[in-house]
Amino acid sequence: MNDKIIVEFFQRIGHPLPERQTHFPTFSLYFLLLFSPLFSLTLYAADKGYSIPIVDIAHDKERQFIVDKEPGQYLGHPTTLLLDDQKTIIVVYPKGHGRGAIVMKKSFDGGITWSERLPVPKNWETSQEVPTIYRLVDPQGIHRLVLFSGLYPIRMAYSKDDGVKWTPLQPIGDFGGIVAMASMERLKSGDYMAFFHDDGRFIANSGRASTFIVYKTLSQDGGLHWSLPEKIVEHEQAHLCEPGLVRSPDGGQIVLLLRENSRKMNSFVIFSDDEGETWTEPRELPGALTGDRHTAKYAPDGRLLITFRDQTHISPTRGDWVAWVGTYEDIVCGSEGQYRIRIMDNKVEADCAYPGCELLPDGTFVTTTYGHWDEGESPYIVSVRFKLEELDARGLTSDTIPNLNP
């Protein structure tokens, strides 16, 4: 058992550490046998707020770059993709709230400047959902960009030339879903596993809302064909959706961070140690990681940056575009992490932040999303660039927002 976890347990229950025990070689087994029920309850108790600092970069205008803005037009819900040259970023987003004609732009300099709106197939105007985009390789080594659009049926388009020319949207099967595909991972077998959710209305086009269920689907040919969806998690009370994937640093475990849409509980997490064949029971995350549409990237030093819409129950940045900085072990242990970042201040409730997140070779994160950034104006899309080392010192000083956690 990890010494750090044992130390954290004693700190949380307010009990002094055993005398002269800074390492627990034989004590660990005894500890688990004696205290495991209390340990699990204490360590993983869900807190509605958080105690870690909040670094505010919402007023750092030099970090912000407008991707697209159109007076009177709602622009929302982007996803991004960094190409192999490690500087070209593609962004796709709808003209509307969660649906509408798909727009595509490119940045050739890591998110500093953006092209005009690029030509796309005519039937992309019929998109009913937020688009998502990935780069996949088939067993013959051929790379394709693949774009998805959800509801019923889930449809897909692809490009063989890094997004210059695209096919029209076509159904991937006789099933539907919401935020398809929210995340995707290449498995050790070479297959791809993708995730989406549904609330009963679109999976079989019944139109009747029921239980929130998260599904997976597999592709063995580089994304050209997809299997029938398979249920991986549901909850009796929580409305679990929008799975955000993280693979462990050693590659042996896959984690899904889940939005909780009933707004009664924190976000949830599930784990798989067998490449998505089986999953743990869902467990609430700490308040520090509670939000919508988690998107994660590892920093060069091995820490995680996870960006999302803040939906923590007690938070001065609730409804804003935020990010969390911590480690993979923090997720496993249920720890709060190191600090949070307010990336931008959203002016209208919680209508922002389905964020793209890319890491450039020099350690710069390029995060991109929509929001109501100006009072009285329609939402538009912005990229924000930063390095963790630029923010680390601010996370350890008074240059933060008070977190108001009781």
Residue 380 pLDDT exceeds 80: yes
Going by pLDDT thresholds of 50, 70 and 90, the confidence category of residue 358 is very high
pLDDT at 330: 98
pLDDT at 393: 86
Q: Which residue has the tokens 């700190």?
A: 11
Cα–Cα distance measured from residue 65 to residue 114, given in angstroms and rounded to the nearest whole number: 9
DSSP code at position 394: G
- Cα–Cα distance, 218 to 137 (Å, whole number): 14
pLDDT in tens, 256-310: 999 999 999 999 999 999 999 999 999 999 999 999 999 999 999 999 999 999 9
Q: Render pLDDT for 14-30 as a digit per residue (tens, 0 to 9).
A: 444 444 333 434 344 33
pLDDT of 42 = 36
How do residues 84-101 score in pLDDT, each as one tens digit?
A: 999 999 999 999 998 999
C-beta separation of 95 from 66 below 8 A: no
The pLDDT tens digits for 112-122 are 999 999 999 99
> For all residues of the chain together, what is the average pLDDT?
90
Question: Quick one: average pLDDT of 139-167?
Answer: 97
Share of residues in the chain with pLDDT > 90 (%):
84
- Judged against a pLDDT cut of 50, whether residue 4 lies above it is answered with no
The pLDDT of residue 47: 87
Confidence of residue 394 (pLDDT cuts 50, 70, 90): confident
The letter for the amino acid at 199 is D
Is the pLDDT score of 241 beyond 80?
yes
Rounded CA-CA distance 65/385 in Å is: 8
User: By C-alpha distance, which of 164, 167, 170, 154 is closest to 203?
Assistant: 154
28 or 149, which is more confident? 149
Strand 304-310 vs strand 291-298: parallel, antiparallel, or unpaired? antiparallel
Higher pLDDT, 148 or 46: 148
State pLDDT tens for residues 38-78: 333 334 446 899 999 999 999 999 999 999 999 999 999 99
The answer to whether residue 10 scores a pLDDT higher than 50 is: no
Express each pLDDT in 173-225 by its tens digit.
Answer: 999 999 999 999 999 999 999 999 999 999 999 999 999 999 999 999 999 99
**At 245, is the secondary structure helix, strand, or coil?**
strand
Q: What is the pLDDT of residue 395?
A: 74
Pairing mode of beta strands 356-359, 365-371: antiparallel
Identify the pLDDT of residue 400.
Answer: 54
> Which of the pair, 372 or 3, is modelled with greater confidence?
372
pTM over 0.85: yes
Arithmetic mean of pLDDT, 128-147? 97
